[in-house]
Amino acid sequence: MKAVGVVVEYNPFHNGHLFHIKEALSQTRSDVAIAVMSGFFLQRGEPAIVSKWSRTKMALTSHVDIVVELPYVFAVQKAEIFATGAVALLNELGCSSIFFGSENGDPDAFVQTATYMLQHQQALNQEVKKQVSSGMSYPSAMTKAFSIITNGEHTLDLSKPNNILGFHYVKTILENDFQMKPVTVKRLSSEYHDTLLPEMSGNIASATSIRKSIIEKGVLSDSSFFLPESSVKELNEYMGTFGLWHSPEHYFSFLKYNLQTMDIEELQEIYEVEEGLEHRVKKVIQKAGSFLEYMDLLKTKRYTWTRLQRMNTHILTRTKKAVVHQLLTETHPRYIRLLGMTKKGQAYLAKKKKELRIPLITKIGSLSNPSLHLDIKAGQVYSAPLHEPARTGLTEAEYSLSPLRYDEDNGLFLRH
């Protein structure tokens, strides 16, 4: 069986994702689609709108055959580390190709650019450091350094979010000599950061605009047109069970508590609290009455919203620099956490299981690992805004829930 891999967040799973996964299977002529999906907190430092279990259900009912979790230590990270962890997991699972959306849409452009940059890595790193020291944010510094080093010879725009991720996917493949073919498709209709639902014809909108509509209005009526029926069903069921769709504002009181009770020395130990930011957050939190107000006061030209939002998530989870730095000495994940599979996915894993070089986890109790402990803690923090008994239910699911199994022939989830 041939497998294609995708790196996803599905926050939530929408029609653009459905198009993407169908194209992935079709263009690569694969039998199985494997998704590496971020868990409770995402690459931009946001909490997922619904739990990883609900998003796994959305994926399995929409042509994804296997869903595995990208560990927290890789998921809530800048693009380079995020991509390294995700691509390594897809390689471990035997994917012959990786399929991703991009603003460019030409796989050769990614291969050529990544090859060139690997050949000039030292010069690039020096130029990035130079631009950052001048007060530029890291993403802007990377874009400018790339332009300077290449002298305009390459046309891949690394200021675009999906191009950036695609570049790092391909760079990881080349660096590690993975036997995985990169395939990309040009993003349709909406841009990644679009905040408004489109008014013209077409049923594809950005996940950002869908989330904004859902959370601000508290209903699915406007956004349901842009979602598969299974996603609408799962979102409604989640609200019925847990009473909310998660947003950064739900965590503001917990963030404020942490910031007000941690001293400067404790804050300095938190991952991504650098260059005196501990003093700035201590000052700003006293003035802010909401997460949005806090972020507006905190943001500067040097630090992007995304960079600061990730830092705040690490403050929420009290994730220390020493722990992350130690875990990242092993540049690839050391286990595969299986969240769900279809019957076809289960058949694929049965054939591949003996070839795996790292443990495939189906129950948390089967492995003790510092990275897994971070995943568990992230789940506990994620459940904090929920009322009992929902909070306990979601927390205990981490220990008690086996991978979800979906019978795609009958459209049913199997009891486990």
d(CA 100, CA 110): 11
The pLDDT value given to residue 190 = 45
The average confidence (pLDDT) of the chain is 90
Q: Any idea which residue has 């962890």 for tokens?
A: 85
Residue 40 pLDDT exceeds 90: yes
Binding site feature residues: 7-20, 101, 162, 187
The pLDDT value given to residue 194 = 54
Mean pLDDT value of segment 200-204: 66
Q: Which helix (H) or strand (E) holds 283?
A: helix 277-285
DSSP state letters, 58-124? HHHTTT--EEEEEPHHHHSS-HHHHHHHHHHHHHHTT-SEEEEEESS--HHHHHHHHHHHHHTHHHH
The pLDDT value given to residue 138 = 72
Domain span(s) for CATH 3.40.50 in the chain? 3-103+187-246+328-413
- Lowest-confidence region among 25-39, 120-134, 244-258, 372-386: 120-134
Query: For 345-368, how does the pLDDT look when each residue is reduced to its tens digit (9 = 90+)?
Result: 999 999 999 899 999 999 887 678
Query: For 149-184, how does the pLDDT look when each residue is reduced to its tens digit (9 = 90+)?
Result: 777 666 688 888 899 999 999 999 999 999 999 999
Contacts with 199 (C-beta within 8 Å, 6 or more apart), sequence order: none
The pLDDT value given to residue 310 = 97
Burial class (CB in 10 A: 0-12, 13-18, 19+), 347: middle
Cis peptide before 389 (omega within 30 of 0): yes
Model confidence band, residue 119 (pLDDT cutoffs 50, 70, 90)? confident
Binding site feature residues for ATP: 7-20, 101, 162, 187
Contacts with 323 (C-beta within 8 Å, 6 or more apart), sequence order: 271, 370, 374
Query: Do the beta carbons of residue 56 and residue 404 sit within 8 Å?
Result: yes
Pairing of strands 32-38, 66-70: parallel
Helix intervals (H) in 367-416 = 370-382, 390-400
Classify domain 3-103+187-246+328-413 at the CATH topology level.
Rossmann fold (3.40.50)
